[in-house]
């Protein structure tokens, strides 16, 4: 109970008060911190060992069917894995990036009847399916890209991603995410998050035509329609026609044509929608907010690195709906 409150409440002081209200007993905020961080650091150590074991080369006599990570709430049908970075204040180090991955089951629903009727009245297509992500789990830590890759792979094994024939990965286009996800889950259909693609178009439109100008909106809307229809080549041609490399634009603006050209295969949005894949990375972005920032962003000097790593490991278990199971792994592993 103390550890749950220590992870859920905004501070250890509030967690101690909540513990007293719930149980009638009394714990100091220091005791709640010690219990919560101790559990988290133990889980972080277990997960580090698990990640190393998951990535180790095959041993002599090891059965190819043997699981190195036990299945826990395995995903069936279609799955998705999305990754991102989120900043955490580490004491004596400053703001450091924690890397997070969200693993989800993908569900495709028929259009809502009310939405279908409204779409028909407005002269729009009424057969657009609704893609929903559910049953989320997370891994998150203060890792470099290579260490993150090991943890991403281990959590993927826990959810059974290696068994899926239909797997997507929607991300913001960062090269390190593309590389690591491709190495871990080669069958995944990688997709650049729709919102990030549109954001890049607005960056160019505002730079060239002026922020808030009708010409900027007209240019972006035309490119957005092309992108939605899967006409990435036309978007690239339109960007090339602006000759951004010759202007005094920001580097990110100048790199945008290359960004779209490099990601052509990951921007086939019409194909992805037809196949029932998600095209937005909102799950991992909300995970960064709810799993990490809600508890870890607080006033003060920041977290001791070991405590931060432990808190992140425990928060991942809490928000993956497996806190009780994780507690057993630490304190009653043989039970």
Domain boundary residue among 241, 269, 297? Answer: 269
- 83 strand-pairing partners: 101
Domain boundary residue among 215, 244, 269? Answer: 269
The number of distinct structural domains making up the chain is: 2
Q: Are residues 163 and 92 in the same domain?
A: yes
Q: Are residues 153 and 262 in the same domain?
A: no
Mark residue 94 as left, alpha or beta (left: phi above 0; alpha: psi -120 to 50; beta: remaining): left
Which range of residues forms the domain containing residue 159?
63-184+281-335
What's the chain's Rg over C-alpha atoms?
23
The pLDDT, as a whole number, for residue 335 is: 61
Q: Are residues 180 and 287 in the same domain?
A: yes
The pLDDT, as a whole number, for residue 173 is: 87
Q: Are residues 166 and 292 in the same domain?
A: yes
Determine, yes or no, domain membership for 29. no
Q: Are residues 261 and 335 in the same domain?
A: no
Domain boundary residue among 240, 269, 298? Answer: 269
Determine, yes or no, domain membership for 102. yes
Q: Are 75 and 164 in contact (CB under 8 A)?
A: yes
CA–CA dist 330, 323 (Å, integer): 11
Q: Are 239 and 256 in contact (CB under 8 A)?
A: yes
Report residue 123 as tokens. 């002269």
Determine, yes or no, domain membership for 55. no
pLDDT tens per residue across span 2-61: 999 999 999 999 999 999 999 999 999 999 999 999 999 999 999 999 999 999 887 777
pLDDT tens per residue across span 297-307: 987 789 999 99
Place of tokens 């993150």: 148
Q: Are 180 and 145 in contact (CB under 8 A)?
A: yes
Give pLDDT < 70 ranges for the chain.
112-128, 335
The pLDDT, as a whole number, for residue 258 is: 94
Determine, yes or no, domain membership for 146. yes
Place of tokens 């994780």: 326
End-to-end CA distance of the chain: 19
Q: How far is CA 201 from the centre of its chain?
A: 23
Q: Are residues 175 and 290 in the same domain?
A: yes
The pLDDT, as a whole number, for residue 227 is: 95
Determine, yes or no, domain membership for 39. no
Rounded to the nearest 10 degrees, the angle between the axes of helix 305-319 and helix 323-331 is 130
Determine, yes or no, domain membership for 316. yes
Q: Are residues 75 and 166 in the same domain?
A: yes
CA–CA distance from 201 to each of 219, 227, 300, 323, 328 (Å)? 9, 10, 38, 42, 49
The pLDDT, as a whole number, for residue 189 is: 97
3-state secondary structure the chain: CHHHHHHHCCCHHHHHHHHHHHHCCCCCHHHHHHHHHHHHHHHHHHHHHHHHHHHCCCCCCCCCCCCCCCCCCCCCCEEEEEEEEEEEEECCCEEEEEEEEEEEEEEEECCCHHHHHHHHHCCCCCCCCEEEEEEEEEEEECCCHHHHHHHHHHHHHHCCHHHCCEEEEEECCCHHHHHHHHHHCCCCEEEECHHHHHHHHHHHHHHHHCCCCHHHHHHHHHHHHHHHCCCHHHHHHHHHHCCHHHCCCCHHHHHHHHHHHHCHHHHCHHHHHHCCCCCCCHHHHHHHHHHHHHHHCCCCCCECHHHHHHHHHHHHHHHCCCHHHHHHHHHCCCC
CA–CA dist 139, 320 (Å, integer): 9
Determine, yes or no, domain membership for 2. no
Q: Are residues 91 and 140 in the same domain?
A: yes
Determine, yes or no, domain membership for 32. no
Report residue 272 as tokens. 């992805």
Q: Are residues 232 and 257 in the same domain?
A: yes
Of 217, 169, 185, 237, nearest in space to 54 by CA: 185
CA–CA distance from 235 to each of 168, 187, 216, 229, 287 (Å)? 23, 27, 15, 11, 31
The pLDDT, as a whole number, for residue 308 is: 97
The pLDDT, as a whole number, for residue 114 is: 58
Of 51, 53, 154, 145, nearest in space to 98 by CA: 145
3-state secondary structure 53-67: HHHCCCCCCCCCCCC
């Amino acid at each position: 109970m103390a550890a749950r409150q220590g992870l859920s409440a905004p501070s250890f002081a509030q967690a101690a008060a909540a513990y007293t209200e719930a149980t009638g007993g009394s714990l100091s905020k220091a005791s709640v911190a010690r219990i919560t961080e101790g559990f988290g650091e133990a889980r972080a150590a277990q997960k580090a060992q698990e990640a190393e074991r998951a990535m180790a080369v095959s041993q002599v006599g090891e059965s190819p069917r043997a699981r190195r990570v036990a299945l826990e709430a395995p995903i069936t049908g279609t799955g998705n894995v999305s990754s991102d970075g989120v900043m955490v204040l580490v004491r004596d180090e400053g703001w450091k990036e924690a890397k997070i991955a969200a693993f989800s089951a993908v569900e495709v629903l028929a259009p809502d009847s009310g939405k279908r009727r409204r779409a028909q009245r407005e002269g729009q297509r009424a057969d657009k399916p609704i893609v929903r992500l559910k049953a989320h789990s997370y891994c998150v830590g203060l890792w470099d890209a290579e260490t993150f890759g090991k943890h991403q792979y281990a959590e993927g094994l826990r959810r059974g991603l290696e068994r899926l024939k239909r797997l997507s990965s929607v991300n913001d286009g960062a090269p390190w995410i593309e590389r690591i996800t491709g190495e871990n889950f080669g069958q995944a259909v990688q997709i650049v998050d729709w919102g990030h693609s549109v954001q890049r178009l607005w960056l160019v439109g505002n730079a060239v035509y002026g922020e808030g100008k009708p010409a900027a909106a007209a240019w972006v809307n035309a490119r957005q329609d092309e992108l939605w229809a899967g006409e990435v080549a036309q978007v690239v041609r339109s960007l090339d026609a602006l000759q951004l490399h010759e202007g005094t634009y920001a580097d990110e603006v100048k790199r945008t044509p290359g960004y779209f050209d490099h990601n052509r295969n990951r921007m086939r949005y019409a194909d992805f929608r037809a196949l029932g894949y998600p095209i937005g990375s909102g799950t991992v972005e909300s995970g960064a907010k709810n799993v990490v920032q809600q508890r870890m962003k607080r006033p003060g000097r920041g977290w001791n690195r070991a405590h931060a790593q432990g808190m992140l490991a425990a928060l991942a278990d809490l928000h993956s709906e497996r806190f009780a199971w994780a507690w057993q792994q630490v304190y009653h592993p043989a039970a």
